[in-house]
Amino acid sequence: GEDVEQSLFLSVREGDSSVINCTYTDSSSTYLYWYKQEPGAGLQLLTYIFSNMDMKQDQRLTVLLNKKDKHLSLRIADTQTGDSAIYFCAETDTGTASKLTFGTGTRLQVTL
């Protein structure tokens, strides 16, 4: 089946940029997503990218997609303490409609 991998932990200083990485195996992925989960809460959709795009920018967030290497990244500019959370990447393919496969999640810790 599909596999989505992320590094477990990232620590950055407030004001620096954060880059969270994700790799996936499904070559038929159509949409790739980034979700944020704060403690005890559900998932908040941050952004998503269609597989024929290389980059998408939305305010402080920049998503880069390397389809050849099956690599997705999320860059958060000017990281704030409120950005501390778990970030999940997820993908869906044409064969399963909107069914999502999630990554393992990356815990982002922002220090002062």
CB of 95 to another protein, least distance (A): 14
Cα gap 29→4, rounded to integer Å: 11
- Least Å distance, CB 41 to another protein, is 5
Shortest spacing between CB 99 and another protein, in angstroms: 7
Binding site for another protein (CB under 8 A): 31, 33, 35, 40-45, 48, 50, 88, 97-100, 102-105
